[in-house]
Amino acid sequence: MTLPTAIQMCPFSDYLEQELAKRFTLIRWDEMDEAARQALLAQRDDRIGAVVTNGHVGCPDDLMTALPGLRIIAIHGVGFDKVNLPLAKERGVGVSTTPNVLNEDVADLAIGLVISLLREVAPADAYVRGGRWEQGDYPLGRKVTGRRFGIVGLGRIGMEIGHRLAAFGPVAYTGNTPKDVPYRFVPDALTLARESDVLILACPSNAQTFHLVDDAILDALGPQGYIVNIARGAVIDEAALIGAIDQRRIAGAALDVFEHEPHVPEALRASPHVLLTPHIASGTVETRRDMADMVLQNLDAVLAGDPPTHALV
């Protein structure tokens, strides 16, 4: 039996790649050079019915428009800012994500980053490993309990973060509208930063949130304030963040996402006031298996002639 053809944009787990190979003849976009990619675009191959990708790779507009037979862009993740949804809708292409299954893991990492940042877990670990403890005690960190926490974006993940943070101190949030939650609503991110000790970003990446965190918000957070980003890198103006950290206008930052990942600016990598993780918020064995299964559910639905199970458009 001839398998349908799909483009795989990036590497996935062994499990997902094996299951994809059972369903499709796969074209590996991530393994092609630019000349091969341009040749593929020029073919306008109507046999290619699916693109399988993740949130920070997405699907370029020129690839979408070069595939007349494209029926689904299946995203392994919840971020869809790298897929042009209006264009997909115009072309009748379904776009699916893997919602809800990663909420707990992302929230867990956010709390871990908050604690690790304020208590300086990573540099303290390096202090012990470097044999410096014998020369004297490690400098004091900052207390977590009792801090004022602000969440930018109280969606599913933001709700999970708020639930966990409430055990440590008062929680406030900002978003498009107030919600029926036991946390204080603040109408804008600037005011929220001014009234927070720790600002956690959990909002989507879109035109409204692009470089939302700028010099003004960082200055509002202040020299005793911390910022944690488990949303998308583009929500922070990285140049402004680097300046604020270098000038000690904020106390520190914990970042799981970056504007041009996997590239991380040297100034962030070199700073002792920044905690870095490589976009691992959903990176547990259990959740990645659940996400893979949801990708397959979406693809199987389209192969059967139905809309994706978890469709955005």
Note whether 271 and 135 are same-domain residues. Answer: yes
Is 312 a member of any domain? no
Residues in contact with 123: Cβ distance below 8 Å, sequence separation at least 6, in sequence order: 272
**Per-residue pLDDT tens over the stretch 222-261:** 999 999 999 999 999 999 999 999 999 999 999 999 999 9
Residues in contact with 49: Cβ distance below 8 Å, sequence separation at least 6, in sequence order: 4, 5, 6, 69, 70, 71, 72, 302
Note whether 123 and 214 are same-domain residues. Answer: yes
Is 308 a member of any domain? no
- Segment 219-224 shows an average pLDDT of 98
Residue 31 CA to residue 40 CA, distance in Å, equals 13
Residue 129 CA to residue 138 CA, distance in Å, equals 12
Provide φ and ψ at 197, rounded to 5°. -95, -35
The reported pLDDT for the residue numbered 187 is 96
Is 281 a member of any domain? no
Which of the four pLDDT bands, split at 50, 70 and 90, describes residue 208?
Answer: very high
The reported pLDDT for the residue numbered 256 is 98
Q: Which domain holds residue 33?
A: 5-99+286-303
The reported pLDDT for the residue numbered 2 is 87
Note whether 133 and 250 are same-domain residues. Answer: yes
Which amino acid is it at 50?
A
* Catalytic residue positions, numbered: 232, 261, 279
The reported pLDDT for the residue numbered 58 is 95
Residue 305 CA to residue 313 CA, distance in Å, equals 15
Structure token pair of residue 259: 């504007």
Note whether 125 and 190 are same-domain residues. Answer: yes
Note whether 158 and 92 are same-domain residues. Answer: no
Please report which helix (H) or strand (E) contains residue 184, including its range.
strand 184-185
The count of structural domains within the chain is 2
Note whether 117 and 266 are same-domain residues. Answer: yes
Q: Look at residue 1 and tell me whether its pLDDT is greater than 90.
A: no
Is 194 a member of any domain? yes
Structure token pair of residue 185: 């609503």
**Per-residue pLDDT tens over the stretch 289-310:** 999 999 999 999 999 999 999 9
For residue 222, give the nearest of 242, 248, 240 by alpha carbon.
248
Note whether 127 and 267 are same-domain residues. Answer: yes
Note whether 177 and 293 are same-domain residues. Answer: no
Note whether 150 and 264 are same-domain residues. Answer: yes
Residue 189 CA to residue 19 CA, distance in Å, equals 43
Directed axis angle between helix 285-303 and helix 14-23, to 10°? 10
Which amino acid is it at 280?
I
Note whether 125 and 85 are same-domain residues. Answer: no
Note whether 170 and 95 are same-domain residues. Answer: no
**Per-residue pLDDT tens over the stretch 3-54:** 999 999 999 999 999 999 999 999 999 999 999 999 999 999 999 999 999 9
The reported pLDDT for the residue numbered 14 is 95
> Could you tell me if 201 and 175 are in contact, meaning their C-beta atoms sit under 8 angstroms apart?
no
**Per-residue pLDDT tens over the stretch 252-291:** 999 999 999 999 999 999 999 999 999 999 999 999 999 9
Residues in contact with 4: Cβ distance below 8 Å, sequence separation at least 6, in sequence order: 23, 24, 25, 47, 49, 50, 303
Is 179 a member of any domain? yes
Instruction: Give the residue carrying structure tokens 């369903």.
Output: 23
The reported pLDDT for the residue numbered 231 is 96
- Segment 71-94 shows an average pLDDT of 95
Is 313 a member of any domain? no
The reported pLDDT for the residue numbered 313 is 76
Is 311 a member of any domain? no
Note whether 139 and 232 are same-domain residues. Answer: yes
The reported pLDDT for the residue numbered 279 is 95
Residues in contact with 219: Cβ distance below 8 Å, sequence separation at least 6, in sequence order: 244, 249
CATH number of the domain bearing residue 22:
3.40.50.720
The reported pLDDT for the residue numbered 312 is 85
Q: What are the beta bridge partners of residue 73?
A: 51, 95
Q: What are the beta bridge partners of residue 172?
A: 150, 184
Is 241 a member of any domain? yes
**Per-residue pLDDT tens over the stretch 110-154:** 999 999 999 999 999 999 999 999 999 999 999 999 999 999 999
